[in-house]
Amino acid sequence: MDRTHLKYTLSWAGLVVMLFVLIAVMTIFDVIGQYGMTTLVLIGINLIAAVGLNLVIGMSGQFSLGHAGFMAVGAYATALIASAIPNIGGFILSLVIGMSVSGVVALLVGIPTLRLRGDYLAIATLGVAEIIRIVIINLKITRGPAGIFGIPNFVNWQVIFGISVIVIALVVNFVRSTTGQAIIAVRDNEIAAASLGINTTKYKVIAFVIGAMLAALAGGLRASFIQSVSPQDYTFMQSITILIIVVLGGIGSMSGTVVTAIILGVLDVILQNFGPLRMVIYAVVLIVVMIFRPKGLLGTSELSLKKLLFDTGDSHDNHSKNA
Amino acid sequence: MKKVIAIVAAFVVVIGAVVGIGMSKKSAEKTSTVIKIGGVFDTSGDASAYGEAEQKGANFAVKRINAAGGIKVNGKTYTIEMVNKDSKSDNTEAASVTTSLISNNKVNAIVGPVTTAATQAAVPAATKGQTPMMSPTAGADSITVQKNGKVQPYIFRAQFKNSYLGTKMAQFADEQVKAKDVVIFQDNSSDYGTGITSAFKKAYKGHVVDTASYQAGDTDFQAMLTKIKNQKFDAIVINGYYTEAGAILKQARDMGINVPVIGPDGLGDPKLAEIAGNQNASNVYYAAHFSTQAPATDAATPFVTAYKKAYGEDPSQFTALAYDAVYMIKQAIEDEKSVDKAKITTGLAHIKNFDGVTGKMTMDAFHNPKKSIVMVGETDGKDTTATVVK
Amino acid sequence: MSSILQQLLNGVILGSVYALLALGYTMVYGIIKLINFAHGDVYMLGAYFGYFFINVLHLNFFIALVLAMAVSAGVGVVIEFVAYRPLRQSPRIAVLISALGVSFLLENGMSYFFGSDKRAFPQAIATVQYHFGQLQISNIQLLIIGTAVVLMLGLTLIVQKTKMGRAMRAVSADQEAAILMGINVNRTISFTFAIGSALAAAGGVLIGLYYNNIDPLMGMTPGIKAFVAAVLGGIGIIPGAALGGWLIGILETLTQAIGLSDYKDAVVYGILIVILLWKPTGILGKNGREKV
């Protein structure tokens, strides 16, 4: 068992290295240019936020409409702290603080609302995100609607690539851990899970807090990369953008999230040439994909290297890819 | 194991292909007689009404320049190609689109973005790509200034800066309207509204009775108007755009509040009177960049006539500013006799006595155009008076 | 004192429109558990239909209102048929995303074809101000309150007294049992969308007339606020939506009246969260036991 496990881990690692080399070669020979670079980094940032949201939705079965609020917390933490301490230490500190604040807010919101079933989390997070945004608009320190600019940039594609890989690895391991399995049990059947003695609220709150912290991380990275933040960046639409990545990829499927983040990023680049028609096309794509693949591109299953490369027959996860 | 080998082999082939493309791309550069101007305008989302107006203005300018024979530099004739991209009223998108225009479309200069926040987000991209960028309407004082107090080398604007607008409006309220007490309505969702308000408050000699905030997209102002109705004030100042200002105007007049209304250039759109109703759009003064009543330069009247002919509607302040932005780039190219990005940047920084539709402009050291403000007065929805505020 | 009364009146007028919108949300949620994000955009479409009927076809305002409601009802049925019905057996979140897609499509499609700029709504009825002591109200404001109340009473009659209304209540209570009882679920759901959309369109036309301007994004913010109103009153409960709508309208007005205009939306959301914590099912909601 340990040896086969090692084999899969190694093949995933191999894939990651190959991807890294591919991007590196593409930059060295200037095939994708500065714009390709920017697009890659933005895809990576959306990816980090979406993986966090997928943990919340996929693992707890409740959905959040306020991811933008947590991203805003991270973004403003980085904007304020990294501007005050413009070195790499300050930047890392700002990310940590942003994630902590965001985690605490999530804890405060999550504990009362996650006790309930239904769409309460969605409504509460929607409200919290709007409140965060309105407070940011009215505070002096956040410089109101104009936002903060001139934030030092510590982010390039290598940083985002590294952080994305680490985040995905950690989240996947978390899902496979005992805690993660408990969370999935909660999603699949809350009453049964509760009757087995699993503290359902606790695990939902854990998933929610991790999701919020990853959102803050993504927000902080984006603030540093774009070098400016403003409250308009974190409206309801931003929450929806991330939510769409998760749902199109397949709720609960981390590889689905990765694939969709990339596909939507590329689609955006292609649609850019359509001008105002782009959002119309985007809307139609959204409806059509949902009608024909209501469980998302990958459903709840994961891309499995085991199936792809070694094909031993017995599937690691019990879900079949027939969404 | 075979599959693993196959994947590794495929990988090597892909890398080889990428290297090949990269090598062949290097030799593809050639000279052309086209000057590309990138347009970063919000044509979808919240700011799309303003973005569309500006895109029309820029396109119209390009059309006129090309129709008049393009730009002649050192005996060579260049035509302009406008490459417009939608920044979706999203600041990150503004940054990304700017990068795309610079690195993929290889534009010589950029017109846009529309708002202060989007411009701030696009500044690093333009600076990194060493491409001059002129925002027609970003108002925040800070966008052309770096953290260390030096000027942003590549960033320009065609608009007044907010503090200048606010100060001049205060002066107008003091001297012309002779208002002792005012009530301020500000658009709290953009720096445009809050920036002008704070400058106004600083410069205004009278008393500010109350400041009410609203968000872009709000339509109901009954509560705020009821609140101020029984207080004593001589004028209302609306720091925002014509969309909400029109609604405030209508509801105030319906309620019987008939004091003068003063606003910045955001009110300068024919839609203001349409939304408020012509009978309500009286005793309204807004800071204008151009007015057919008091044309600042000889360029204004022909522009309005030609634009009306082409689009069948009156141009707004937004349209005129984008139009001037393109012509300033043309001026810079002609002054420096080069289509090189660095030269255009130098040319823009040295623009002097440029006869634009929106006034005679000279760039100051911080890339803000110095031009006079005309306060246009409306009666029954028509521009009837024009007062130059010195 | 009179200004407080006037502010309450302002709140009720504003709230009437939220209430009309909230009814649509609450009926749809009650019957298929969907937060219909496209609802605010149907309200926008209704306003545009009204604009078209009055401005282009030069119809009388009330005829235009009724026609706009009828056409929008049709649009609502089509939206449900195309974008939601195929997903009846899918996870609820898939329908939610589909609803968002419809919302984007309507907003951006209207911007693309008709321009994103505001349009002045034709003033089919001249504004007349009435004064009652210190209170002031216009004929259009009275029209809004009156139409809202009439439509709500009509809706209550339909739901309580007609066969279709009984079917709606049955499907909302237990869809499978309703099927067993011989109720045509698809038809009932279509009917719900038709009614909800017609109410939203009525709101849109009235708002167009009142504020004199319409644009393709006009449904976004009222849409979200109406949803909040529906949750506040108790989602799925028809009188709750009306109550929630009026409460939100009054709250918003009072927040501005006491000088907190910077935070008016934050206060609304804050109260929503407090109410959810105190009574998750909303003000009029019943605390039902969870069933396995």
**Optimal mutation site among B120, B127, B142, B155, interface A, most CBs of chain A within 10 A:** B120
Q: DSSP assignment, residue A315?
A: -
Asked if C120 reaches chain B (Cβ–Cβ under 8 Å), the answer is yes
Question: Which whole number is the average pLDDT over A213-227?
Answer: 95
How does residue A2 score in pLDDT terms, banded at 50, 70 and 90? Answer: low
Tokens of C177: 């049992």
**ipTM score of complex:** 0.86
pLDDT at C289: 44
- Comparing C134 with C152, which gets the higher pLDDT? C152
Q: C174-189: per-residue pLDDT in tens? A: 888 888 988 999 999 9
Q: B99-156: per-residue pLDDT in tens? A: 999 988 899 999 989 998 899 999 999 999 999 999 999 988 889 998 888 999 999 9
Question: pTM value?
Answer: 0.87
**Residues in chain B, pLDDT under 70:** 1, 25-31, 292-296
Q: A25-55: per-residue pLDDT in tens? A: 888 877 778 888 889 999 999 999 999 999 8
Poorest-pLDDT segment among A255-259, B14-18, B58-62, C110-114: B14-18
Q: B282-336: per-residue pLDDT in tens? A: 999 999 887 766 666 788 888 989 999 998 888 888 999 999 999 999 999 999 9
Asked if C112 reaches chain A (Cβ–Cβ under 8 Å), the answer is yes
SS (H, E, C) chain B: CHHHHHHHHHHHHHHHHHHHHHHHHHCCCCCCCEEEEEEEECCCCCCHHHHHHHHHHHHHHHHHHHHCCCEEECCEEEEEEEEEEECCCCHHHHHHHHHHHHHCCCCCEEECCCCHHHHHHHHHHHHHCCCCEEECCCCCHHHHECCCCCECCCEEECCCCHHHHHHHHHHHHHHCCCCCEEEEEEECCCHHHHHHHHHHHHHCCCEEEEEEEECCCCCCCHHHHHHHHCCCCCEEEEECCHHHHHHHHHHHHHCCCCCCEEECHHHCCCHHHHHHCHHHCCCEEEEECCCCCCCCCCCHHHHHHHHHHHHCCCCCHHHHHHHHHHHHHHHHHHHHCCCCHHHHHHHHHCCCCEEECCEEEEECCCCCEECCEEEEEEECCEEEEEEEEC
State how far residue C211 is from chain A, nearest Cα, in angstroms.
25
- Please list every residue in chain A whose beta carbon sits closer than 8 Å to the beta carbon of residue C280: 116, 118, 120
What are A's interface residues with B at a Cβ cutoff of 8 A?
Answer: 11, 18, 21-22, 25-26, 28-31, 33-36, 38-39, 42, 137-138, 144-147, 149-150, 153, 222, 226-228, 230-233, 237, 269, 272, 275-276, 278-279, 308-311
How does residue C69 score in pLDDT terms, banded at 50, 70 and 90? Answer: very high
Task: Please list, residue by residue across C133-160, b when 16 or more beta carbons sit within 10 angstroms of its beta carbon and e when fewer do.
Answer: eeebbbebbebbbebbeebbeebeeebe
User: Subunits that touch chain A (at least 3 Cβ pairs < 8 angstroms)?
Assistant: B, C
pLDDT value at C139 more than 80: yes
Question: Which whole number is the average pLDDT over C51-69?
Answer: 93
Pair B193, B184: CB distance under 8 Å: no
pLDDT at B300: 85
Pair B323, B58: CB distance under 8 Å: yes
Give the count of beta carbons closer than 10 Å to the beta carbon of residue C32: 22
The CATH architecture that domain A39-310 belongs to is Orthogonal Bundle (1.10)
Question: Which whole number is the average pLDDT over C121-138?
Answer: 86
pLDDT at A118: 67
Tokens of B224: 């705020």
Query: Which residues face B109 on adjacent strands?
Result: B37
Pair B133, B144: CB distance under 8 Å: no
Tokens of B278: 């012509």
- For C111, name the nearest residue in chain A, comparing CA atoms only: A276
Tokens 């028609």: give the residue: A277
pLDDT at A315: 42
Q: A265-279: per-residue pLDDT in tens? A: 988 888 877 777 888
Q: Could you tell me how many residues make up chain C?
A: 292
Tokens 């495929």: give the residue: B10
- φ, ψ dihedrals at B212, nearest 5°: -110, 135
- For C11, name the nearest residue in chain B, comparing CA atoms only: B223
- For C15, name the nearest residue in chain B, comparing CA atoms only: B220
Q: A145-175: per-residue pLDDT in tens? A: 888 988 999 998 999 999 999 999 999 888 8
What is the distance between the alpha carbons of residues A252 and C181, in angstroms, rounded to a whole number?
A: 37
Q: Which domains does chain B have, with CATH numbers?
A: 34-159+297-372 (3.40.50.2300), 162-288 (3.40.50.2300)
Q: A171-205: per-residue pLDDT in tens? A: 988 888 887 787 777 777 777 777 777 777 888 88
**Optimal mutation site among C37, C105, C114, interface A, most CBs of chain A within 10 A:** C105
How does residue C128 score in pLDDT terms, banded at 50, 70 and 90? Answer: confident
The 3-state DSSP class for residue A68 equals helix
Tokens 């030799």: give the residue: B27
How does residue A316 score in pLDDT terms, banded at 50, 70 and 90? Answer: very low
What is the distance between the alpha carbons of residues A298 and A250, in angstroms, rounded to a whole number?
A: 5
User: Does B222 sit within 8 Å of C116, measured CB to CB?
Assistant: no
**How many cross-chain Cβ pairs, A to C, lie less than 8 Å apart?**
110
Asked if C90 reaches chain A (Cβ–Cβ under 8 Å), the answer is yes
State how far residue C135 is from chain A, nearest Cα, in angstroms.
32
What is the distance between the alpha carbons of residues B242 and B270, in angstroms, rounded to a whole number?
A: 9
User: Does C262 sit within 8 Å of B255, measured CB to CB?
Assistant: no
User: Does C105 sit within 8 Å of A276, measured CB to CB?
Assistant: no
pLDDT value at C73 more than 50: yes
**How many cross-chain Cβ pairs, A to B, lie less than 8 Å apart?**
136
Report the candidate in A308, A290, A297, A286 with the shortest Cα–Cα distance to residue A259. Answer: A297
pLDDT at B31: 65
How does residue C287 score in pLDDT terms, banded at 50, 70 and 90? Answer: low
Question: Which whole number is the average pLDDT over A54-71?
Answer: 86
Taking the domains of chain A in order of start, what are their residue ranges?
39-310
Give the count of beta carbons closer than 10 Å to the beta carbon of residue C161: 10
How wide is the angle at C-alpha B44 spanned by C-alphas B40 and B45, nearest 5°? 115
**Optimal mutation site among A42, A226, A267, interface B, most CBs of chain B within 10 A:** A226
- φ, ψ dihedrals at A319, nearest 5°: -80, 140
User: Does B226 sit within 8 Å of C120, measured CB to CB?
Assistant: no
User: Does B224 sit within 8 Å of C252, measured CB to CB?
Assistant: no
Q: How far is CA A214 from the centre of its chain?
A: 7
What is the distance between the alpha carbons of residues C261 and B214, in angstroms, rounded to a whole number?
A: 7
Torsion of CA A174, A179, A185, A188, to 10 degrees: -40
User: Subunits that touch chain B (at least 3 Cβ pairs < 8 angstroms)?
Assistant: A, C
